[in-house]
Amino acid sequence: MEKVKWAVLGSCGIAKRRTIPEGIIAAENAELVAVYDLNTAANEALAKEFGAKAVGSEAELLATDADVVYIATPANLHYEQVRACAVAGKHVLCEKPLGMANDEAEKMIAICEEAGVKLGVGFMMRFLAQHQAAAKLIKDGKLGQPVYGRAQLSCWYPPMEGAWRQDPAQGGGGSLIDMGGHCIDLMELFFGEVKKVSCFTNNSVHDYKSEDSAVALLSFENGALATVDTFFCIPDASSKTRLELYGSKGSILAEGTIGQGEAGEMVAYLEEDAGDYDGLQNTGGGAGAAINPEPVNMYRAEVEEFSASILEGRETSLSADVGLRSQKVLSACYESARTGRVVEIN
Ligand SMILES: NC(=O)c1ccc[n+]([C@@H]2O[C@H](COP(=O)([O-])OP(=O)(O)OC[C@H]3O[C@@H](n4cnc5c(N)ncnc54)[C@H](O)[C@@H]3O)[C@@H](O)[C@H]2O)c1
């Protein structure tokens, strides 16, 4: 099979932990050719492990024969790095968030369009087989009219010297943009576009500059409502990453599907007909059906999809438009948190 040549910019964070071993190396239609990271020693060790070339600068990386560059650096570097890749004629898969805010995401899209290269964004949680199955059930009307959803993603992230997510000037914000971005993206996969938001952010426990707490209330074009709750100050073991989707014909409830792993449980409680009003209101009695499709590694699926879109010269489901949508909703959430107002997505 023809293989797309991948280079990695910022190779020693999530790239090293997940995207290189589980994605680029595992993908049938991709090969890793070069890696670059400020951490020279770790970059060289990584290159050796995976048979790639370790280079000493971004310019050197862009001078390789790579077809696509995967960018996995802090958010405040994304805009300039995407621009440099586009100028060098490389397709780009940029990690979320797509830059710091709307304006950067819009400029990145325009620059890549002008350069004739593809720009994708790394919202890999869309590829989880259970998320795809839930999206199909909703699309097929099995949930009835979507009514309410909840997506939760939290962790323990104590103050650390140099942690870029703890400084909004580097991360664009805290738990909301970092983890809430995935939750918002998933809710848009399930319920369609968000129309308006109301949001609270806070520093409940940690005193760094980024928020460690955020709850956003989303109102969708289709009339559904959802909440996204995301905290940097809840211990990992207690963060169960709940996903709840309710409609007029039932619910789809999951634990552990939102995250980086493949493990999680999802159960659907669906009815053909909710029936007449029953004054006894016997809630919680229905037998659910486990949703257990064949597991898919999200990083591999992401790399294979982006590579295939290049090989086949077609649009990608990882389109940067998804990244821009996410930025618009996130910006509205931050504005709401700042002003105390409901904010419409324009
Ligand atoms: N999709 C996911 O599963 C997932 C998970 C974690 C992080 N992310 C995203 O990936 C990106 C990176 O996050 P992370 O957790 O890996 O951060 P990190 O800080 O752990 O790693 C970033 C890496 O980039 C390197 N780096 C920084 N500046 C650089 C530069 N100018 N040139 C080359 N290398 C440079 C650092 O040395 C470091 O190795 C962020 O956008 C984040 O939101 C995505």
Ligand 1 mean position, distance from CA 169 (Å) = 15
Name the residue with higher pLDDT: 135 or 272: 135
Pairs from 240-245 (Cβ < 8 Å, separation ≥ 24):
240/152, 241/152, 241/153, 241/154, 242/150, 242/151, 242/152, 243/134, 243/149, 243/150, 243/151, 243/152, 243/186, 244/148, 244/149, 244/150, 245/134, 245/138, 245/143, 245/146, 245/148, 245/149, 245/190
- Residue 283, pLDDT > 80, answer no
| 72 in contact with ligand 1, CB cutoff 6 A | yes
State the Rg of the chain over Cα.
21
Predicted pLDDT of residue 344: 98
pLDDT for res 346: 82
Would you say the C-alpha torsion 235, 243, 318, 76 has a positive or negative sign?
A: negative
State the pLDDT at residue 285. 64
Average pLDDT rounded to a whole number, residues 284-302: 90
CA distance 27 to 18: 12
Structural domains of the chain, ranges and CATH numbers in brackets: 4-122+299-316 (3.40.50.720), 125-296+327-344 (3.30.360.10)
Cα distance between residue 170 and residue 165, in whole Å: 7
Whether residue 286 is predicted with pLDDT greater than 80 in this model: the reply is no
The first and second tokens of residue 282, run together, are 């016997």
280 pLDDT band (50/70/90 cuts)? Answer: low
Question: Ligand 1 centroid to 238 CA: how many Å?
Answer: 25
Residue 113 to residue 69: CA distance in whole angstroms: 16
Q: 99: CA distance to ligand 1 center in Å? A: 13
- The pLDDT tens digits for 305-324 are 999 999 999 999 999 999 99
Write the pLDDT tens digit of every residue in 20-65: 999 999 999 999 999 999 999 999 999 999 999 999 999 999 999 9
pLDDT class for 333, splitting at 50, 70, 90?
A: very high
Residue nearest to atom 21 of ligand 1 (CA): 13
- The closest residue, in CA terms, to atom 9 on ligand 1 is 95
SS3 helix, strand, coil % of the chain, rounded to 5? 40, 25, 40
Asked if the model's pLDDT at residue 257 lies above 90, the reply is yes
Categorize the per-residue pLDDT at 150 as very low, low, confident or very high, splitting at 50, 70 and 90. very high
Name residue 92's beta-bridge partners. 69, 119
**pLDDT tens column, 184-228:** 999 999 999 999 999 999 999 999 999 999 999 999 999 999 999
211 alpha carbon – ligand 1 mean position (Å): 19
The pLDDT value recorded for residue 263 is 76
User: What number is the average pLDDT over the span 255-277?
Assistant: 88
Q: What percent of the chain stands above pLDDT 70?
A: 98
Cβ of 10 below 6 Å from ligand 1: yes
In the predicted model, is pLDDT for residue 16 greater than 90?
yes
Residue 14: pLDDT above 90? yes
Q: Give 99-116 pLDDT, tens digit per residue.
A: 999 999 999 999 999 999
- Residue 75 pLDDT > 70: yes
The CB of 95 under 6 Å from ligand 1? The reply is yes
Query: Mean pLDDT, to the nearest integer, of 334-338?
Result: 98
